[in-house]
A and B are shown apart, each in its own frame.
Chain A
Amino acid sequence: MTATYRDAVRSALRQALRDDPRVFLMGEDVGRYGGVYAVTRGLLEEFGPDRVRDTPLSESGFVGAGIGAALGGMRPIVEVMTVNFSLLALDQLVNHAALLRHMSGGQCGVPLVVRMATGAGRQVAAQHSHSLENWYAHVPGLTVVAPATPQDARDMLLAALREPDPVIVFEHVLLYATEGELDEQAPPAPLRGAAIRRPGRDVTLVTYGGSLAKSLAAADRLAAEGVEAEVIDLRALRPLDTATLLASVARTHRAVVVDEGWRTGGLAAEVIATIQEQGFYDLDGPLGRVCSAEVPMPYPKHLEDAALPQPESIVAAVRGLLGRDG
């Protein structure tokens, strides 16, 4: 069947709530409001206020409560509306969720799933448009994923719930309304590992989340010029699937990383460093990256568009690597 990304996330949440009495949802406006992106609509009515729990605007408080509930044997799914607000819970996620197993010498597992929307593109300006996945992907102890399709949105959320340690799930805001194939009976899928979304022989485009569609659009345009791009969807940002990246580069000998985060210190830099360290002799030229411009996100559409990776800028970056400028 065809479903939106939003419906796919809801399908996974509903299945998890039905299958496991330890699972409960918690977050700002997840209950009566139905979720700011309508992801949790209907779940309060179906599962009741103990399991679909509205919270005060206390990001640190309810993320910490999620950690405590996970320590106490539950399987909480905490929605932190957006990555922008997650900065108020950074202490809980980085200082506590990620470290507890280690500090306790392996005694304390935190099987917590935290979902949050990320990314720009809706003209909501500088404080609601961050793409800070790399902040979390930096931290040992966390697993960080960014499903880009409805099927992955369902499968990876269910997979995250089977993890004994904390998982952060990033959902790009522009994906919620997108449609794709969804098999609600699909068997468990791996949480980790990249996927090749489009095979190609001339250049590898490495991307994830909200930039996948842009990269595929760029690949179509390049194909019209006779350049076959292979598009890799990272899916998991920590750990990175190095083997799939290196195998692709060994075939194409060139790569461009497309990442909505800012360039400096970003995830793209990590991917490029990894390819350089382990795949240098497979390369025919320098690696490239297309990131967001180093400005806070402006409000007007023409400036926001200019700040973000776009199919045009991806095509231009590939042309540059291939010496086909203009």
Chain B
Amino acid sequence: MTERERGQRLLREMLRIRRFEEKAAELYQQGKIRGFLHLYIGEEAVAVGAFDALGAEDTVVSHYREHGHALARGLSMDACMAELYGKATGVSGGRGGSMHFFDVARRFYGGFAIVGGMLPIAVGLALADRLSGRQGVTACFFGDGAVAEGEFHESLNLAALWRLPVLFLCENNRYAMGTALARHQAQPDISRKADAYGLAAEAVDGMDVLAVADAARRAVSQVRATGRPFLLEARTYRFRAHSMYDPELYRAKEEVEEWKRRDPIPALADRLAAEGALTAAEREAMTAAVETEVAAAVAAAEAAPWEPVADLARHVHAEPGS
């Protein structure tokens, strides 16, 4: 893949996430989607940059703001949209909704909505790889809020102690729901916490997809080469409210506007254009293609069937013969 193709692919992936979620917000207002809907808008460079460095053999564990990770991982947009609708064709059969996207065939293990709870599970997935001789890195995404949970510290310690190939990827968007980083961390430099457990670490500008991709590649290479864990902190920002219920009383509009000037999507598009790697026509065609994909996903979700109520008791235990 040429640099030009790669740049355009990164842009397209960010745009897919952005438009998917903007449409999801619209559908939420129309009552098509209910429950919690946590938008990733503003943070797309982190997922797209990270997945640029991960391969199909690697394992992914994510949190409840995971639409971007799922799309960047290659989960079908139709199935992701159907999951938001709660339809039977969703990535989790409609049982999970926005916070619980799963696709085991793509080694995408959630979609976890208890902050920090998936960190030890990622350690266990890496342990299974180690014990069974399977190659691969387990990438675990979590936010700055999770850093305050005991499970963050337990997991870093376990992964370092047992020398497991885990990429801990902290998406530091500066707020644990509504609590600013400086109000929940005595040491707000998250990457420094790795020192206490003997992990290698790096912090990167999470608004620059190329910087994230480069940092992720360095981190993943190091994990592959050493078999040891790595903490990568991507400093990013959430442009939208925490969820659809959030009146955003805890941060200034000026701060949000300030960060929006660093929007990773126009930043990359302008950069590619300036380098002659993206023509106006290409940019237009890309936008149109993404619009078409999103519209098709909505149409498919609208048309998809609901799971029959008679199936309510399914998926509590394995089904006979499964």
Chain A contact residues, CB within 8 Å of chain B:
22, 24, 50, 55-56, 58, 60-74, 76, 91-92, 95-96, 100-109, 140-141, 143, 164-165
Question: What's the minimum C-beta distance from A19 to chain B, rounded to whole angstroms?
Answer: 16
CA distance A61 to B117 in the complex (A): 9
Closest residue of A by beta carbon distance from B101: A104
Pick from A22, A56, A64, A107: contact of B104, CB below 8 A. Answer: A107
Pick from B90, B128, B132: contact of A71, CB below 8 A. Answer: B128
- Whether the pair B117, A65 counts as a contact (CB closer than 8 A) is no
Chain B contact residues, CB within 8 Å of chain A:
59, 61, 90-96, 100, 102-104, 109-112, 114, 117-129, 131-132, 134, 150-151, 154-155, 157-158, 161, 314-319, 322
CA distance A71 to B102 in the complex (A): 12
- Closest 8 interchain pairs by CB? A68-B124, A64-B120, A72-B128, A105-B93, A61-B154, A104-B102, A65-B124, A164-B318
What would be 12 A-B contacts, judged by CB atoms less than 8 Å apart?
Answer: A22-B132, A24-B131, A50-B131, A65-B120, A68-B120, A68-B121, A69-B127, A70-B128, A91-B114, A96-B118, A104-B100, A107-B103
Pick from A62, A64, A95, A108: contact of B102, CB below 8 A. Answer: A108
- Whether the pair B114, A69 counts as a contact (CB closer than 8 A) is no
- Whether the pair B120, A60 counts as a contact (CB closer than 8 A) is yes
CA distance A96 to B61 in the complex (A): 13
- Whether the pair A72, B124 counts as a contact (CB closer than 8 A) is yes
CA distance A96 to B129 in the complex (A): 20
* B120 cross-chain contacts in A, Cβ below 8 A: 58, 60-65, 67-68, 92
- Whether the pair A60, B150 counts as a contact (CB closer than 8 A) is yes
Pick from B109, B110, B121, B319: contact of A65, CB below 8 A. Answer: B121
CA distance A104 to B102 in the complex (A): 5
- Whether the pair B102, A107 counts as a contact (CB closer than 8 A) is yes
CA distance A64 to B154 in the complex (A): 10
Closest residue of B by beta carbon distance from A112: B124
Closest residue of A by beta carbon distance from B88: A105
- Whether the pair A105, B102 counts as a contact (CB closer than 8 A) is yes
Closest residue of B by beta carbon distance from A104: B102
Pick from B93, B112, B114, B158: contact of A58, CB below 8 A. Answer: B158
- Whether the pair B131, A69 counts as a contact (CB closer than 8 A) is yes
- Whether the pair A109, B96 counts as a contact (CB closer than 8 A) is no
* A108 cross-chain contacts in B, Cβ below 8 A: 102, 104, 109-110
- Whether the pair A72, B157 counts as a contact (CB closer than 8 A) is no
Pick from B109, B123, B125: contact of A61, CB below 8 A. Answer: B123
CA distance A266 to B3 in the complex (A): 65
A-B contacts, CB under 8 A, total: 152
- Whether the pair A96, B114 counts as a contact (CB closer than 8 A) is yes
- Whether the pair B123, A68 counts as a contact (CB closer than 8 A) is yes
Pick from A68, A69, A103, A165: contact of B95, CB below 8 A. Answer: A103
- Whether the pair A72, B316 counts as a contact (CB closer than 8 A) is no
Q: A61-B155, A74-B132, A107-B102 are in contact. List 9 more A-B contacts (CB 8 A).
A: A58-B158, A61-B154, A61-B157, A67-B120, A68-B128, A72-B127, A96-B121, A103-B100, A104-B92
CA distance A22 to B104 in the complex (A): 19
* A61 cross-chain contacts in B, Cβ below 8 A: 120, 123, 151, 154-155, 157-158
* B103 cross-chain contacts in A, Cβ below 8 A: 107
CA distance A143 to B318 in the complex (A): 12
Known: A61-B158, A65-B127. A103 touches B111 (CB 8 A): yes
Closest residue of B by beta carbon distance from A141: B316
Closest residue of B by beta carbon distance from A53: B162
Question: What's the minimum C-beta distance from B271 to chain A, rounded to whole angstroms?
Answer: 38
Pick from B92, B110, B131: contact of A74, CB below 8 A. Answer: B131
CA distance A133 to B158 in the complex (A): 28
* B317 cross-chain contacts in A, Cβ below 8 A: 101, 141, 143, 164-165
CA distance A190 to B112 in the complex (A): 33
* B154 cross-chain contacts in A, Cβ below 8 A: 56, 58, 60-61
CA distance A56 to B317 in the complex (A): 31
Question: What's the minimum C-beta distance from A140 to chain B, rounded to whole angstroms?
Answer: 5
- Whether the pair B119, A105 counts as a contact (CB closer than 8 A) is no
Closest residue of B by beta carbon distance from A109: B318
Question: What's the minimum C-beta distance from A256 to chain B, rounded to whole angstroms?
Answer: 31
Closest residue of B by beta carbon distance from A59: B154
* A58 cross-chain contacts in B, Cβ below 8 A: 120, 154, 157-158
Question: What's the minimum C-beta distance from B58 to chain A, rounded to whole angstroms?
Answer: 13
- Whether the pair B316, A102 counts as a contact (CB closer than 8 A) is yes
